[in-house]
């Protein structure tokens, strides 16, 4: 069967730039998968997505004009309905066969197979393969329905009566199989072989496509459009680096901005611009944010990564004299920078301390009070953590930073750019003459803001950041605002991971239960505490983090099952379990540990790890007791020193006496004293084996 390459393009008005990449990939993938499912695209065919501001397209190789016929077993009806007591066809079966284009002569060839609880009749029939026009129509409908469009537009078609729903009005549809137009329709459009190039710089209007394979080449040369998202992105990167290098500078690295700009232009042209140096008096973060967020410019940095007064813009036109484009963009950015300078100058006229009372007028949450109340809670938590970590000195500095940490929410700059909260607080704290320790803590107390973000840089900042995240977690869990499914409007998963990272990466000797208790006390009677919901939530995040680091689910489960409260030790524990799990004794000891746990669970009441050696009757129980007396001190010494790997390694010597015990000793002896003594021996063994982790979780 001969195949040709297929090209489908939907020509539309400007698509949302931030979603363009996702739209392009989704459109091409859905088309491709549907055609493969229908047998029209070869299993080893390839798809190339195209996405520009005004088009979504897909190029698919090895697409057939007609799919191959398929032999399928067509279910007809239950055998009890289709055949009478003599095995003859019933009228119902004859009618069904007629509907399928055959007659009673096919009865002899029917198959009887079990279908659930009943036996059914099946007929082998040949299903004709789908024609390309029909299959592509189906694929196109599915691709448009599956586009991840958050909000659609409703617009009228040219007839003045009909209306359609789509992300943006569509004006053209191309469907080419080789050089032949495939007759399909979508959004009120019929397919053809014509598309439009660049609004202003296209050499031809329209661009008449010769074939599916000439699409990208013709658009670039005749239409002045780089159709591929990745190709256009790479061209922008090349030009950014080239122009920046010619200026002896480098563009700021921002993948999100790069994707957005790629979604805004069809033929990128990178040009340099600049602004007055006086604006460099404003914190660099403010200037960078306003240039990126409002103008989509790429700020330029010098060799020491310091912001300069130059930037790069990505134009969608390439005039011979670009001075008008450059000048226009420089005029547009100037008022934005002037606003930022005005906000910065005005904000510095008031100290952060003078803004504290204003927080009482800002609602944080209707059930948790104002930002002022929240700051007092964070302050109390920070003081308690600081006292535990570094005494009164750290407690005092942490409380001072926590008291001021939210005051920058009342500044003009943060009001205009909420993304700068914390950052501006640090600048204003230094302007007020506060110590770098306090200023850094105010700036860093939101960290880590996202996965991979740096941690707060000093001890005071760590304490305030911990207090802030714990207050958020305890408060919102306390009023029932917990994450559900993929919805987490308050970022509680991120807050939990932040707490975990600070406790583990900074090896803080702070038990989790203590932190949650201190945080709960700060709320007084404002919240209802569910004893396990928040700890379970934090341990679930910790388990996910450990699995992401390459530990197996069994290793993670073994370490976290006993709920160790000192998270700083978790890394050493899971490494010790990983090392133990590869020992030849690990499987046997883990299985024995599981068996011991099951035995002890069945005993009414608690079993004390106390032993009377005078009651021993079997050599195996004496040998196990002696092995424990040798092993326990060494294992405990290693455990107490934090060497969990050595502690578990000591346990490996118990394998033979443990195996012998279970081979030769009846634990549930008839004599109550003997039975209790043997259970005590097992309790001692169980206690020794599970100090680092619940080793039974390693048993297969």
The pLDDT > 70 percentage for the chain reads: 100
Residue 602: partners with Cβ closer than 8 Å, 6 or more residues away:
none
Concatenating the DSSP letter of every residue in 534-603 gives: HHHHHHHHHHHHHHHTT--HHHHHHHHTT--S-GGGHHHHHHHHHHHHTSTTHHHHHHHHHHHHHHHHTS
Answer for the pair 624, 657: CB distance below 8 angstroms, yes or no.
Answer: yes
Q: What is the mean pLDDT of residues 468-476?
A: 96
Q: Indicate if 584-698 has the same CATH topology as 3-67+131-222.
A: no
Q: Tell me the pLDDT band of 288, cut-offs 50, 70 and 90.
A: very high
Q: What is the mean pLDDT of residues 346-368?
A: 95
Answer for the pair 422, 541: CB distance below 8 angstroms, yes or no.
Answer: no
Answer with the residue of higher pLDDT: 423 or 113: 423
pLDDT number for residue 101: 76
Answer with the residue of higher pLDDT: 526 or 513: 513
Q: Tell me the pLDDT band of 589, cut-offs 50, 70 and 90.
A: confident
The pLDDT > 90 percentage for the chain reads: 69
Dihedral sign, Cα of residue 338, residue 342, residue 343, residue 344: positive
Residue 614: partners with Cβ closer than 8 Å, 6 or more residues away:
none
Chain mean position to CA 354: 40
DSSP-derived letter for residue 293 is I
- On the question of pLDDT at 414 being above 90, the answer is yes
Chain mean position to CA 221: 40
Name the least confident of 117-121, 299-303, 597-601, 608-612.
Answer: 608-612
pLDDT number for residue 201: 94
Of 230, 232, 206, 234, nearest in space to 218 by CA? 206
pLDDT number for residue 487: 87
pLDDT number for residue 91: 87
- On the question of pLDDT at 605 being above 80, the answer is no
pLDDT number for residue 451: 86
pLDDT number for residue 616: 84
Fold observed for domain 3-67+131-222:
Alpha-Beta Plaits (3.30.70)
User: What is the C-alpha to C-alpha distance for residues 37 and 139, in angstroms, rounded to an integer?
Assistant: 10
Answer with the residue of higher pLDDT: 97 or 569: 569
- On the question of pLDDT at 362 being above 80, the answer is yes
User: What is the C-alpha to C-alpha distance for residues 17 and 14, in angstroms, rounded to an integer?
Assistant: 8
Owner of token pair 């014509």: 194
Answer for the pair 635, 647: CB distance below 8 angstroms, yes or no.
Answer: yes
Answer for the pair 366, 373: CB distance below 8 angstroms, yes or no.
Answer: no
Residue-range domain boundaries for the chain: 3-67+131-222, 70-127, 229-347, 361-549, 584-698
Name the least confident of 30-39, 375-384, 471-480, 603-612.
Answer: 603-612
- On the question of pLDDT at 573 being above 90, the answer is yes
Average pLDDT, the chain: 92
- On the question of pLDDT at 1 being above 70, the answer is no
Answer for the pair 240, 251: CB distance below 8 angstroms, yes or no.
Answer: yes
> What's the burial of 684, exposed, middle or buried (CB within 10 Å: 0-12/13-18/19+)?
buried
Query: Domain 584-698 in CATH: superfamily?
Result: Isoleucyl-tRNA Synthetase; Domain 1 (1.10.730.10)
pLDDT number for residue 612: 82
pLDDT (tens digit, 9 = 90+) per residue, 171-216? 999 999 999 999 999 999 999 999 999 999 999 999 999 999 999 9
The kind and range of the H/E element at 272 are strand 269-274
pLDDT number for residue 532: 86
Q: Tell me the pLDDT band of 651, cut-offs 50, 70 and 90.
A: confident
Q: Where are the beta strands (DSSP E) in 351-442?
A: 363-365, 369-370
Answer with the residue of higher pLDDT: 674 or 58: 58
Q: Tell me the pLDDT band of 608, cut-offs 50, 70 and 90.
A: confident
Q: Tell me the pLDDT band of 452, cut-offs 50, 70 and 90.
A: confident
Answer for the pair 59, 38: CB distance below 8 angstroms, yes or no.
Answer: no
pLDDT number for residue 45: 94
pLDDT (tens digit, 9 = 90+) per residue, 60-114? 999 999 888 777 777 888 888 888 888 888 888 888 888 777 887 787 778 888 8
158: number of Cβ within 10 Å = 9
- On the question of pLDDT at 595 being above 90, the answer is no
User: What is the C-alpha to C-alpha distance for residues 32 and 26, in angstroms, rounded to an integer?
Assistant: 10
pLDDT number for residue 301: 97
- On the question of pLDDT at 656 being above 70, the answer is yes
Q: What is the mean pLDDT of residues 491-498?
A: 95
pLDDT number for residue 76: 80
């Amino acid at each position: 069967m001969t195949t040709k390459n297929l090209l489908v393009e939907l020509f539309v008005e400007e698509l949302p730039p931030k979603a363009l990449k996702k739209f392009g990939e989704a459109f091409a993938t859905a088309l491709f998968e549907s055609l493969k499912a229908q047998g029209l695209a070869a299993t080893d065919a390839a798809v190339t997505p195209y996405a520009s501001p005004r088009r979504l397209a897909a190029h698919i190789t090895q697409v057939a004009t007609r799919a191959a016929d398929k032999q399928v077993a067509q279910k007809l009806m239950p055998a009890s309905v289709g055949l009478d007591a003599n095995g003859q066809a019933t009228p119902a079966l004859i009618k069904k066969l007629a509907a399928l284009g055959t007659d009673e002569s096919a009865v002899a060839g029917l198959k009887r197979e079990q279908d659930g609880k009943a036996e059914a009749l099946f007929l082998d029939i040949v299903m004709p393969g789908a024609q390309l026009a029909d299959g592509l129509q189906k694929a196109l409908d599915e691709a448009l329905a599956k586009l991840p469009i958050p909000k659609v537009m409703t617009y009228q078609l040219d007839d003045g009566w009909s209306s359609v729903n789509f992300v943006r009005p569509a004006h053209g549809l191309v469907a080419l199989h080789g050089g032949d137009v495939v007759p399909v329709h979508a959004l009120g459009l019929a397919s053809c072989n014509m598309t439009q190039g660049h609004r202003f710089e296209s050499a031809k209007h329209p661009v008449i496509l010769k074939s599916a394979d000439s699409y990208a080449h013709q658009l670039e040369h005749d239409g002045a459009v780089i159709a591929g998202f990745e190709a256009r992105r790479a061209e922008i990167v090349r030009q950014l680096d080239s122009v920046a290098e010619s200026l002896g500078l480098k563009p700021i690295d921002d993948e999100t901005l790069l994707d957005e700009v790629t979604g805004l232009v069809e033929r990128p042209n990178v040009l340099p611009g600049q602004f007055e140096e006086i604006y460099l008096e404003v914190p660099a973060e403010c200037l960078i944010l306003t240039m990126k967020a409002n103008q989509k410019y790429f700020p330029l940095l010098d060799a020491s990564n310091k912001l300069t007064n130059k930037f790069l813009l990505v134009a969608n036109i390439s005039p011979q004299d670009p001075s008008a484009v450059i000048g226009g963009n420089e005029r547009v950015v100037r008022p934005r920078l002037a606003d930022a300078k005005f906000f910065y100058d005005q904000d510095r006229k008031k100290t952060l301390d003078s803004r504290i009372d204003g927080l009482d007028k800002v609602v944080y949450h209707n059930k948790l009070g104002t930002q002022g109340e929240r700051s007092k809670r964070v302050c109390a938590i920070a003081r308690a953590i600081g006292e535990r970590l570094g005494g009164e000195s750290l407690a005092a500095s942490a409380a001072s930073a926590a008291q001021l940490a939210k005051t920058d929410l009342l500044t003009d700059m943060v009001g205009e750019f909420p993304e700068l909260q914390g950052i501006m607080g640090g600048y204003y704290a230094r302007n007020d003459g506060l110590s770098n320790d306090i200023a850094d803590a105010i700036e860093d107390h939101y960290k880590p803001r996202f996965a991979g973000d740096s941690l707060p840089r000093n001890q005071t900042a760590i304490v305030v950041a911990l207090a802030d995240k714990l207050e958020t977690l305890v408060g919102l869990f306390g009023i029932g605002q917990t994450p559900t499914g993929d919805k987490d409007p308050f970022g509680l998963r991120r807050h939990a991971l932040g707490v975990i990272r600070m406790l583990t990466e900074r090896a803080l000797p702070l038990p989790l239960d203590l932190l949650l208790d201190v945080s709960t006390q700060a709320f007084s009677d404002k919240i209802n505490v569910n004893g396990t919901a928040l700890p379970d939530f934090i341990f679930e995040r910790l388990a996910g983090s450990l699995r992401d680091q390459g530990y197996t689910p069994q290793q993670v489960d073994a370490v976290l099952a006993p709920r160790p409260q000192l998270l700083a030790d978790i890394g050493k524990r899971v490494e010790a379990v990983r090392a133990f799990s590869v020992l030849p004794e690990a499987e046997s000891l883990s299985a024995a540990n599981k068996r011991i746990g099951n035995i002890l669970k069945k005993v009414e009441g608690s079993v004390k790890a106390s032993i009377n050696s005078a009651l021993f009757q079997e050599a195996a129980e004496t040998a196990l007791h002696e092995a424990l007396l040798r092993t326990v001190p060494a294992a405990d010494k290693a455990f107490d020193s934090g060497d969990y790997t050595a502690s578990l390694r000591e346990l490996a010597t118990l394998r033979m006496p443990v195996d012998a015990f279970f081979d030769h000793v009846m634990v549930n002896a008839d004599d109550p004293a003997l039975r209790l003594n043997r259970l005590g021996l097992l309790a001692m063994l169980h206690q020794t084996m599970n100090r680092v982790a619940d080793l039974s979780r390693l048993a297969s």
